[in-house]
Structure 1
Amino acid sequence: MKNSKYLLPIITAGVLVFQSCGNSNSGKTDSTEQASQVNEQKDSVDNGVSDFMVKAAAGGMAEVELGKLAQENGVSQRVKDYGAMMVKDHTKANDELKALASAKNITLPATLDDQHQKHFEEMKKMKGADFDKHYMDMMVNDHVETINLFDDAAKNETDAEIKAFAAKTAPVLKIHLDSAKKINEAVKK
């Protein structure tokens, strides 16, 4: 049962690989997939650590890019302010994560993965109240998933530095979730 925490990342990676094989854009390689492949080749690193770090980096980059977009395409000042908070807080966490990854010789994705990029492109077309509703609903859902990822790492990670990073970052993510829920309710009215 101890290894079951690794099952979800393995299944997710398998689905991503399967989807990319059937994708007509097969010439474009997903940066998260590339980072995972590089990390799989490094046997000095626990795969659970690198999986967590790659997922955290991919999600963090998406939060920053979508936060910038919220400041441009949102109509509600609360949504715009939330986007600014995402840029500030997730940039800080991403920088810390990059430093940890570098010290541990773990390669993180440098660009949005295909799934996040596609969603970003779709959201670029949205404006005003439609954008606000979609963005805030997504922020609630994404932060629930991200908090689960970070809480799991804070409790179960074997690497002390990564465990400490996850434990330190999780409360900030919970603040983001609380704010997202309140703003989400307000923009739905």
Structure 2
Amino acid sequence: MLLILALASSLGCKKDDDDNTPPPQQVQTLSVTDTVFINNASLSNLAEIDLGQLAATKASNDSIKAFGAFMVNEHTLAQNELNALAAQKNVSVPQELDSLHKAIKQQLEVLNGYQFDSLYISTQVTDHQKAQQIFNTEINSGQDQDVINYANKYLPHINEHLQKATQLKADLVK
């Protein structure tokens, strides 16, 4: 009997080994910085897509219309990638505009011509300045390399958008 017990213990046989249940998967949790970044980047993308769609159809200035369409394309790609990253990291992302951008959209919907173009492009400058800060904070303080890589990939796009929006705003004043 001792021989059987010794043999069983040397082989690592335990009663629990027979159920073939895999060990529980470790759920990856992101730092607060990474989670806040994903949330804020998503809100930023949603605003750019929604307001860009409005500008692409409603702006009176052709350059503003084109910029709106460009924002829709660029931020749709960024949001699709962010959605995939968030799903991989088990983080939910917002599905609608924040209250500030809902209010801006309501204002834009009742404006026309120069007033519409001016308010839209002014919000684009402000929003892209805020986005630069959000992305730089992630790059400098984030902890998850995949999230940092996303921020590094899209920060040059944000910089380009800000430059274009700033130029368009200056052109409207001329």
When the two structures are superposed, what TM-score results if normalisation uses the length of structure 2? 0.81
Q: Establish whether residue 135 from structure 1 lines up as the match of residue 129 from structure 2.
A: no
Residue 45 of structure 1 deviates from its aligned partner by: 2.7
Q: Establish whether residue 55 from structure 1 lines up as the match of residue 76 from structure 2.
A: no
Query: Which segments of 5 or more consecutive residues in structure 1 lack a partner in the other structure?
Result: 1-41
Residue 82 of structure 1 deviates from its aligned partner by: 0.4
Whether the 8 Å contact between 1:73 and 1:126 is mirrored in structure 2 is no
In structure 2, distance between residues paired with 1:79 and 1:132: 7
In structure 2, distance between residues paired with 1:135 and 1:58: 17
Whether the 8 Å contact between 2:31 and 2:142 is mirrored in structure 1 is no
Change (3 A) 1:100 1:43: closer
Which amino acid is the alignment partner of residue 64 of structure 1? I
CA RMSD of aligned residues (A): 1.4
Which amino acid is the alignment partner of residue 59 of structure 2? G
In structure 2, distance between residues paired with 1:123 and 1:174: 24
Structure 1 runs, 4 residues or longer, greater than 4 Å off: none
**C-alpha offsets along residues 84-143 of structure 1, whole Å, 9 cap, x if unaligned?**
110000000001100000000001011112222122112111111111111111111111
Q: What percent of counterpart residues are identical?
A: 29
Give aligned pairs, total. Answer: 148
Residue 43 of structure 1 deviates from its aligned partner by: 8.6
Residue 187 of structure 1 deviates from its aligned partner by: 1.0
SS in 2 for 1:129: helix
Whether the 8 Å contact between 2:35 and 2:91 is mirrored in structure 1 is yes
Equivalent residue for 2:158?
A: 173
Which entry has the higher C-alpha Rg, 1 or 2? 2
When the two structures are superposed, what TM-score results if normalisation uses the length of structure 1? 0.75
Q: Establish whether residue 105 from structure 1 lines up as the match of residue 90 from structure 2.
A: yes
Q: Establish whether residue 161 from structure 1 lines up as the match of residue 146 from structure 2.
A: yes
Residue 72 of structure 1 deviates from its aligned partner by: 1.6
